[in-house]
Every structure is written in structure tokens, then in C-alpha cells.
Chains A and B, each alone.
Chain A
Amino acid sequence: DADVTQTPRNRITKTGKRIMLECSQTKGHDRMYWYRQDPGLGLRLIYYSFDVKDINKGEISDGYSVSRQAQAKFSLSLESAIPNQTALYFCATSRTGMGNQPQHFGDGTRLSIL
């Protein structure tokens, strides 16, 4: 079983719909992250969480919200989806550290908004 599991793997939906992407991990890491990947733009950080009570905005948080339901679960919501949120979304985890801890990624959710 994967250490970082994202569901669903693929999702097609319509403009204006509310969508939730879910991430769960078995690595026991405190830190969790949500990124989006667009061709030619690399990965950009949406939100990150250092523990259940600590949620922080990343570079591109507008239009997104998150919930850290437990140490192992971190979900990303699009309250009212728009076409330019079509992208590949990744969840990642890491140990607590001073920037020297690598991040571990799920296999991604491919989201298409029509």
C-alpha cells in the first residue's frame, strides 16, 4: 500500500461545483502539503500544515481551502470550481525539521473542470 494516498485519482466536474480532494498518509509525519502542478510551471504550494492545529497559506491559496482532520488526513476543497483550476494536484508529507527533510508525494489527482 502507498504511504501517501490521494483520492480520487481522476475527477471531471463542472464550473461552480464544490470539490474535495483527500489525502491520507501512513508515514507518521506531522507535516502535510498540497501542491498544484501545471505544465511548464513546476509545483506551486497551495496550503501546508505542520500539525492538526496549524494551517498555513502557500503561494496560491485563493479559491482553495483545507482541513486537517487528523495527523494522517489532509483534504483540499475547491468551494466553487473554475476552469483555470484544472491541474494535477499533489499531496506530500514530511517530518518536522529545519528544511532538510525531504517531502514524500502521493500519486496525484488529475482534476478537469469544464
Chain B
Amino acid sequence: AQSVTQLGSHVSVSEGALVLLRCNYSSSVPPYLFWYVQYPNQGLQLLLKYTSAATLVKGINGFEAEFKKSETSFHLTKPSAHMSDAAEYFCAVSDGGSQGNLIFGKGTKLSVKP
């Protein structure tokens, strides 16, 4: 069965600093991986997805993630944090096959200090 672990339920960075949100997955088959962002009082929005093409995936708002099979990781990064990046971030893995259901991590809340 697939699973996702997000290391750190809360991450705090200063404005302009590097953002690194960690995600490790477990999957017996090549996974499809997703990062979503949730702003207060809103639903989840897709940031980026890995679907077995390029291992470095670029998303919206300057975020990117790198798929590393050897480390079973899909960490999310942004070179320079902005105040508007404060939100909760979820990593998700697809269970593949025709079901295509997503397994979500527990989320990481990102705070950005001025």
C-alpha cells in the first residue's frame, strides 16, 4: 500500500529565505506524486505533479520539486519565500492503476516571518 510522510508539521522561514518542505513516499509501483497548497478558508490547489516525465518538476508561484527514486523523496522547494506563501502544503501519492485515488500526507504549515 502507498503512503506519504511529511517531515515537520510546522516550518517557519524568514521572507527571502529558502523554503524546503519534505515529503517521502512509499510505493511498490512507480508513483504519481502531487503537491497541493491550502490557503486559509480555501480548498486545495494543485502546485505541481510528477507523472514519470522529468524528475525536476516546476509548478506555480515559483515552487519546484525533485523526484528522487533512490531516496523515495519528492521535496518541495522555493528559492525565496514570500509572505503570500504562508499556507498549508500537502504531498500526495496516487495509488496508481485504474483507481487513481490520492493518499495525502498530514500536511506542513508554512509560516513566513517578515
Contact = CB atoms under 8 A, between A and B. Distances in A.
Nearest to A35: B104
Interface residues of B, number: 27
Nearest to A45: B101
Interface residues of A, number: 27
B102 interface: yes
B55 interface: no
Main secondary structure of the interface of B (DSSP, over half): loop
A90 interface: yes
Contacts, number: 64
B26 interface: no
B45 A105 contact: yes
B96 interface: yes
Contacts of B32: 99-100
Nearest to B102: A103
A74 interface: no
Given A99-B32, A99-B96, A102-B34, A42 B104 contact: yes
Interface string A25-57: 000000101000000111111001000000000
A31 B100 contact: yes
Interface of A: 4, 31, 33, 40-45, 48, 58, 90, 92, 94, 96-108
Interface of B: 9, 32, 34, 36, 41-46, 49, 51-52, 90, 94-102, 104-107
